[in-house]
Structure 1
């Protein structure tokens, strides 16, 4: 019987009240690893995710089976083993695919050094940064990081600092010479590494036999769940979108009679589309998008989405936006942020500032700008509603001119 993620979490909590393994039931809500292999891990036990009526759910029998199995796991906290954490490796020393593979020891090391670096650099100008945070102290942690600070940081970022649905810092201890974990728990995490790696390897295979990227680049979100399709197979299964629904209202009968999943996603041009994206301000269809691209359009920061010309062109598939030389309202502030990043500087510094909106009062937007290279480089900038409208109009004019191949000098496309 399919059940919602919320009910699955509640049931799982009841079943695992006596579990000695420190679990994080919120993993059932966030579904980490969903795109990579369609499973949620708790220790070395994989729990399958299902898509039912366009919603991700679980099977109640699976929840009960996994919950009971975890409740039966016994950890002897007196039988511990030195986990022998590997040395720190900088980003430049990492192979991207190798670094993405399941490795709980390396993940623990990454958490420690990331937090130590953040503490060492916080509040200090760039010119004073050094590598002192890499030195291991008597407490086993790098830099000046204390255990209390490390645990507190883990609590603030609890969903990104789980391993296999468990909370390792609740069991990790420092002996004075090495980091210790209960033997049964360390063995459980070793089995998780192997099983997650096997699932990811199987999920990389397209039906034609081609092997996709390790991080799930060929995984497509369809109506029934994720499938693996290489770009050639996606191209053969779906046709390219060439404006068949342009200027059609989302609520029209013509849109309701057309299937978005017959087309490739208009943005990534690799995944089968799952929905007709439309302008929420004017209701015109913009084109077919896959689940991932549709989610990014709706939830990604507007200034990030506007950085790529193909995404701006997609927004301007709305007839009203084109005619009125505007964008959906949620993107207006992003246009202003991008403008300030391009035009404002701290003195003679050539680095673009970090821009953040502080407030909107009486028709005026106030932005705070800060230079990451100079501790004193912080100032504010006020933009009126009229100025914002002018910037949005100019942005759209430049985007349309670039689309036609005759961008004027100083326009958006020539300044980025």
Structure 2
């Protein structure tokens, strides 16, 4: 017998079957594909005390006599409203694996922790074993419908998800982690939703979670880690828990999960979310070769006020008034050489930029006089454009300083060669390792 839900009903407790039907109806038009029966299908387990929906954690409750499990209708509706507001750009992808190294087993109970490993474990199984495995959803999302699999040569492949979906899963994982930490500690408050230990007695005798209990907000990052070396700080006990207490220093909307740092100088920049940590990485990368994809418009144009101060949190970049070599190369191709990029007439659409920009370099930043950036155009429709410019490293750095002074005067004012405290005498060479989780070039 199917469950019935009254549209726009009250905010009382409803059964898990009714919650499944409500979720399906409310998210039918969502840009993020949702899974059917997120409250009753694997890996959801009401006995854990919660179910994940999008970026939210919805508490479950049971009757005092151990009867059927229920959830708050209002919580389900709030989760649906938040999910429906999410926009999905299927071209803005974040690589989620596979990453080098063996998959680790879970050491903590939960349905979403290490969600990247859940996906990797399924996709790396042989087709026969995958068919035998029960299909699972992640936080009520049907991730398979937006997963992009790419091949890189004969035996290499990678998987990506839209950035907005990654943000949702990271937010759900953060909420779950805070919940489980509170349960293990047996006391304290959590961010979203409240601890399951704080419950109130409903009128019908069932235990209902009090959704209005105090919460602990994430802290804004105010430069507490300024000038510290990542190689030292990352080894300190408890640093991951400390990072999780901050909000992302770039987007200032998602919980921080990692410490972003400058791979050229080794200094910590700030705690950021996984999405922002991958934002600056190119979609195509060799040891000294970058495809200048469309996401650089965000880094150097639309969201430049966020990224320039973030990059210059590194003491080395700030003192040199420049960017790490890969970032400087991308900026040179995308911004400094923009007027040089030819266009082609394309029917009634007018003129469009030619091909795909790419920038490569010889030498490295340790020998700036011998370092040369070469900006080229790949895939020209007419086959007539190749090398656009060859820019010496020192010239590129000078152009960037002038642009920085016009674009972000406050950032430029904090930079300069007189601020050399604790700066390494010699920057480390830039070495790419695109098979690693960190993508060492960035």
TM-score range, shorter chain: 0.3 to 0.5
More helix as a share of residues: 1
TM-score by length of 1: 0.42
TM-score by length of 2: 0.40
